[in-house]
Amino acid sequence: MKKRLLSVAAAAFFGVMLNAQQIKFEEYDLPNGMHVILHQDNTAPVVTTAVMYHVGGKDEIKGRTGFAHFFEHLLFEGTPNIKRGDWFKIVSSNGGQNNANTSMDRTYYYETFPSNNEQLGLWMEAERLRHAEINQIGVDTQREVVKEEKRLRMDNQPYGNLFNTIQQNLFTNHPYHGSVIGSIEDLNGAKLDEFKAFYKKYYVPNNATLVVAGDIKPEQTKKWISEYYGSIPKGTVTPKNFPKDAPITKEKEVTATDANIQLPAYIFAYRTPSNKDRDAYVLDMLSSYLSSGKSSVLYKKLVDQDKKALQVAAFNQGMEDYSIFAFFAIPMGATTKQVLQADIDAEIKKVQTTLISDEDYQKLQNQYENQFVNTNSSIQGIASSLATNHVLMGDTNLINKEIDIYKSITKQDLQNAAKKYLNSNQRVIINYVPEKK
């Protein structure tokens, strides 16, 4: 009885949290096509100004990869009104912080300032969009920065190129077969005019979403937005009509090498639907059931009990056009790939033929409710969610509705998704092994 009372209390607590978590926002378009989202929260004196551009690694052309990520670095070089090297100094000296990141689908920049510097954040992002400096010294400088990043994060990092290897082998026609960081050879070969053309093509207001979240006065914020962004000319946005990949109907096995590893890794990768698809949510939840935490089925069996794997995971990487569901395992001792494959396949078979337990299902639901609350517990998190939901998901209000999608997923849905997407004839097996000396 005591446990039951605690469960009810916990449910009531989560109910209060989720109701309080409703994120109010206002959105509109400027005449030049820039989408604006405002979220007012006056509980803390901070404001995040963020801009998401609908350009990522998939938008690049063959022979000129890495541009989207390169611009994430290049566009901190300065503008006619911000001297080269001053961007980060301005932010830090005014009590702020900033960063940027790039994916295959988009590029995202943000500044968070004390709310008395809201106008500064809006001005800086408008400067970046209106007339960023694209010159040879900036290109040469940031090219070296990107080279060092690639060396540190990928080329000299154990398993650093593993995800790129998955993309290369899971996609053939669609540009997801590339990588976010791209090719240094391509960046070395690119001329200054090509970088200027990329900026002109993608860094236009009608390819951008501006989010201002936090301690704002909406009417004043709108005036500043109109002043700083309204006169930036509209650009020409090319429709995203990428080639499709035919369904995988026959299991494929490939081998890749890595000079930085001593133990092999085995990957079993499946191409799955866009993260806009409801099944993407189901697969996300299924990956958590299989390998999230030490009590998950794969960890408990292969790592904890049988000691066959040093590490094991199932992950779901959602993207705008397709997603990736993959199993990853590093063997322990003399365990063979065949043994790991058989055990992973056995767990897949279980979820395809047997509904998960009520206890495991409730644990998943609790986990996603907690995750939902945590994701939007900060102004920076809210700004990122609002931008992502508009640009990549096509529905800004998913910031409030997404938890309802997860709550609607049934045990039968989990089983159906496993049956539909996780069959051996639909996968690529990657043997990621040490490079022979």
What tens digit of pLDDT does each residue of 118-146 get?
999 999 999 999 999 999 999 999 999 99
**Long-range contacts, stretch 14-20, CB < 8 angstroms, 24+ apart:** 14/366, 14/369, 14/373, 17/373, 18/369, 18/372, 18/373, 18/403
The two tokens of residue 361 are: 């299902």
User: Residue 151 above 80 pLDDT?
Assistant: yes
SS3 content of the chain, % helix, strand, coil (to 5): 50, 20, 30
What span, in angstroms and rounded, lies between the C-alpha atoms of 292 and 313? 8
Count each helix (H run) and each strand (E run) in the chain, helices first: 16, 11
Closest CA to 208 of 129, 307, 127, 100: 129
**Residue 394: its pLDDT value, please?**
96
SS3 313: strand
User: Residue 293 above 80 pLDDT?
Assistant: no
User: Residue 45 above 90 pLDDT?
Assistant: yes
What tens digit of pLDDT does each residue of 351-408 get?
999 999 999 999 999 999 999 989 899 999 999 999 999 999 999 999 999 999 999 9
User: Residue 14 above 70 pLDDT?
Assistant: no
What tens digit of pLDDT does each residue of 242-279 get?
999 999 999 999 999 999 999 999 999 999 999 999 99
**Residue 9: its pLDDT value, please?**
35
Q: Which residues contact 263 (CB under 8 A, 6 or more apart)?
A: 310, 330, 331, 434
Mean pLDDT of 163-174: 97
**Residue 21: its pLDDT value, please?**
66
The two tokens of residue 128 are: 């970046």
User: Residue 292 above 90 pLDDT?
Assistant: no
Mean pLDDT of 214-224: 98
Q: What percent of the chain shows pLDDT beyond 90?
A: 91
Do residues 269 and 325 touch, judged by C-beta distance below 8 A? yes
**Residue 13: its pLDDT value, please?**
37
**Residue 296: its pLDDT value, please?**
84
Pick the residue with more confidence: 246 or 19?
246
